[in-house]
Amino acid sequence: MLRAHLIDDVRRAEAAAMAHLPDGALMQRAAAGLAAAVLDVLGRAYGSRVLLLVGPGDNGGDALWAGARLAGRGVAVEALLLADRVHEAGLAALHAAGGRSTRDLDDLHDAPDLLVDGIVGIGGRPGLRPEAVAALEAYADVPVVAVDVPSGVDVDTGRLEGPHVRAALTVTFGTHKVAHLVDPASTASGALHLVDLDLDLIGGPAVEALQPDDVRGLLPRPGLDAQKYTRGVVGVRAGSSTYPGAALLAVSGANTGLVGMVRYVGPAHVADTVRTAHPEVVGAGRVQAWVVGPGGGDDAATMLAEARRDGVPVVVDADALGHLDEAAADWVLTPHAGELAAMLGAEREAVEAAPLEHARDAARRWGCTVLLKGHHTLVAAPDGRVRVTTTGVPWLATAGAGDVLAGLVGALLASGLEPHDAASVGSWLHGAAATQAAAGGPLTASRVAVQIPQVVRETLAGLG
Ligand SMILES: NC(=O)C1=CN([C@@H]2O[C@H](COP(=O)(O)OP(=O)(O)OC[C@H]3O[C@@H](n4cnc5c(N)ncnc54)[C@H](OP(=O)(O)O)[C@@H]3O)[C@@H](O)[C@H]2O)[C@@H](O)CC1
Ligand SMILES: [K+]
């Protein structure tokens, strides 16, 4: 599991570690990891130029100490000091290793190959000062390696308020931070590299992200005595004359082999289309979970009421979300930002600016799991736990992808996974299938569904 902690928990763990380590030991570990990561990106030391952007705190100290190590390896290192006072020992080390420093942007002539953002780390407030903005603008085309976090982001919430660094790579220390994983700040972090500081993090993670091993441990697999009914049956109530395709896509997400049987209940001509494409699918009967809403149109309220009557877990998606008055603890709601905004009486922009906060609010308010779709989809439980999905590609933002996801999550619920696991494993598989199916190019929702068994196969085999 990849875990992200809040600043206070990192500070506590840092203080505990420092109590029994020599002065500056943690910063040296951080700087060594940072220098190694920068060298990896540069590919060679001699002939490479690096510019450090150095703020007033220890984040700048990390950059300066790493700069000293890089200068010692033959990299031409310059530091632009963006504060009256910077980390003194780090600056002295940089100078001793042959690096230069200046406070004036105009002193810098040759464009660097790489910027190292040591402006602020976990002690920073959101936004950047004008000197930092000017430096970043002067080298707008140069890739940035961020130290700990991209400066300017709100580290504990993932919000973006005001100017901030856009990193190609973020080298972070001890544990991940919320801003690395949660939108919109996750888009400013770039690739992530964690330098282990051997910290003893006592507080639980604020956010976590499933890794292939976690998914392998959670995936349902049939026992030797399995029958179709013991593996779980999922029912789909979706589609209408206007949107027959949504039913087809939801069924294709449900019918990927993770349950023993799939039922479809809906308008007769839609049912014919569904069964032509999926001859395995049967009609009404007992199920262990329902998927309700994709393409349901005006009938979505009735679909939801009928599903509720069975007392089994329900995935509430799309049109059904607008008819939700109350939910049971084993339900999963799967809104996108616009749908969640309508459910909470908020503006869509507000949800997009703070998806973590809104997903948590919604999970508390309905007392069930809420899966908020986005670049990094969030799965929030009513007790505050949140998982974020880091699989997937931007091409996945395509019509019908949500219908496939709803079907898949429903199948996992029917197979017996608890709602938080069903939603987060479903989202992980959906993203991984999209990445494989896209193979660097465009994709359609149908292709995502087709790819799911292959992703399951590889994950079970430990190839993920
Ligand atoms: N924790 C760990 O385990 C380890 C931590 N380590 C490293 O330490 C980093 C944290 O260092 P830190 O605490 O010194 O704070 P840091 O982020 O450098 O800056 C705070 C200063 O910036 C200022 N300031 C605030 N906002 C600003 C803004 N927007 N723009 C400009 N300035 C702003 C503010 O001054 P103020 O304006 O309040 O007077 C304050 O003085 C951490 O991220 C990691 O890199 C590693 O070395 C080892 C292990
Ligand atoms: K930084």
Per-residue pLDDT tens digits for 228-273: 889 999 999 999 989 999 999 999 999 999 999 999 999 999 999 9
pLDDT for 144 equals 98
pLDDT for 464 equals 66
DSSP codes, 151-192: TTB-TTT--B-S-----SEEEEESSEEHHHHSTTTHHHH-EE
Q: Please tell me the distance between residue 395's alpha carbon and the centre of ligand 2 in angstroms.
A: 29
pLDDT for 298 equals 86
Please state, in angstroms and rounded to a whole number, the distance separating the CA atoms of residues 295 and 298: 9
pLDDT one-digit tens code per residue, 166-194: 999 999 999 999 999 999 999 999 999 99
Residue (of 283, 303, 296) closest to 246 by Cα position? 296
Place of tokens 């420093």: 101
> SS3 for 147?
strand
Residues 426, 336, single domain; the answer is yes
- Is 222 flagged in the annotation as binding? no
Sheet holding 76-81, edge to edge: 100-102, 76-81, 49-54, 114-118, 144-147, 169-173, 191-195
Residue range(s) defining the domain that contains residue 430: 212-460
Which residues, at least 6 apart from 438, have a Cβ–Cβ distance to it below 8 Å? 393, 395, 396
Return the CATH number at 348: 3.40.1190.20
Q: Please tell me the distance between residue 428's alpha carbon and the centre of ligand 2 in angstroms.
A: 29
pLDDT at 456 over 70: yes
- Is 295 flagged in the annotation as binding? yes
pLDDT one-digit tens code per residue, 313-370: 999 999 999 999 999 999 999 999 999 999 999 999 999 999 999 999 999 999 999 9
pLDDT one-digit tens code per residue, 182-226: 999 999 999 999 999 999 998 899 999 999 999 999 999 999 998
CA distances from 173 to 8, 11, 38, 118, 248 (A): 14, 12, 14, 13, 46
Report the nearest atom of ligand 1 relative to the CA of 27.
Answer: 47
Please state, in angstroms and rounded to a whole number, the distance separating the CA atoms of residues 222 and 462: 17
Residues 356, 242, single domain; the answer is yes
pLDDT at 435 over 80: yes
DSSP codes, 369-419: EEEE-STT-EEE-TTS-EEE-----GGG-STTHHHHHHHHHHHHHHTT--H
Of 158, 182, 207, the residue that ends a domain is 207
Give the residue, by CA position, lying nearest to ligand 1 atom 43: 121
User: Mean pLDDT across the stretch 19-32?
Assistant: 95
Pair 291, 254: CB distance under 8 Å: yes
Residues 246, 391, single domain; the answer is yes
Q: Please tell me the distance between residue 121's alpha carbon and the centre of ligand 2 in angstroms.
A: 5
Please state, in angstroms and rounded to a whole number, the distance separating the CA atoms of residues 69 and 39: 10
Residues 237, 198, single domain; the answer is no
Which ligand gives the minimal distance to the CA of 126? 1
Report the nearest atom of ligand 1 relative to the CA of 17.
Answer: 3
Of 207, 224, 239, the residue that ends a domain is 207
Report the nearest atom of ligand 1 relative to the CA of 26.
Answer: 48
Return the CATH number at 101: 3.40.50.10260
CA distances from 336 to 51, 127, 333 (A): 40, 27, 10
Q: Please tell me the distance between residue 168's alpha carbon and the centre of ligand 2 in angstroms.
A: 12
Residues 201, 56, single domain; the answer is yes
Residues 225, 86, single domain; the answer is no
CA distances from 121 to 7, 75, 274, 301 (A): 10, 24, 53, 48
Residues 68, 158, single domain; the answer is yes
- Is the beta carbon of 33 within 6 A of some atom in ligand 1? no
Q: State whether the Cα torsion 149-56-119-127 is positive or negative.
A: positive
Q: Please tell me the distance between residue 42's alpha carbon and the centre of ligand 1 in angstroms.
A: 26
Supply 367's token pair.
Answer: 């007392």
End-to-end, the C-alpha distance of the chain in Å comes to: 14
Average pLDDT, the chain: 97
HSE of 294, CA atoms in CB hemisphere, 13 A: 32
- Is the beta carbon of 154 within 6 A of some atom in ligand 1? no
The domain tally of the chain equals 2
Question: Dihedral (C-alpha) 68, 69, 71, 75: value to the nearest 10 degrees?
Answer: -140
Of 172, 207, 242, the residue that ends a domain is 207
Supply 416's token pair.
Answer: 């017996």
Give the residue, by CA position, lying nearest to ligand 1 atom 47: 27
pLDDT at 70 over 80: yes
Which residues, at least 6 apart from 207, have a Cβ–Cβ distance to it below 8 Å? 3, 4, 178, 181, 182, 356, 386, 387, 388
- Is the beta carbon of 26 within 6 A of some atom in ligand 1? yes
- Is 462 flagged in the annotation as binding? no
Residues 173, 288, single domain; the answer is no
- Is 198 flagged in the annotation as binding? no
CB burial string 323-350: b at 16+ within 10 A, e below: bbeebeebbbbbbbbebbbebeebeeee
Which ligand gives the minimal distance to the CA of 66? 1
Give the residue, by CA position, lying nearest to ligand 1 atom 39: 56
Q: Please tell me the distance between residue 375's alpha carbon and the centre of ligand 1 in angstroms.
A: 28
Residues 355, 450, single domain; the answer is yes
Q: Please tell me the distance between residue 222's alpha carbon and the centre of ligand 2 in angstroms.
A: 48
- Is the beta carbon of 30 within 6 A of some atom in ligand 1? yes
- Is 124 flagged in the annotation as binding? yes
- Is the beta carbon of 443 within 6 A of some atom in ligand 1? no
Residues 247, 279, single domain; the answer is yes
Residues 419, 273, single domain; the answer is yes
Q: Please tell me the distance between residue 125's alpha carbon and the centre of ligand 1 in angstroms.
A: 9
In which band, very low, low, confident or very high, does the pLDDT at 110 lie, cut at 50, 70 and 90?
confident
Residues 198, 237, single domain; the answer is no
- Is the beta carbon of 308 within 6 A of some atom in ligand 1? no
pLDDT for 297 equals 85
Q: Best substitution site from 8, 26, 117, 122 to test ligand 1's pocket, by max atoms within 8 Å of Cβ?
A: 122
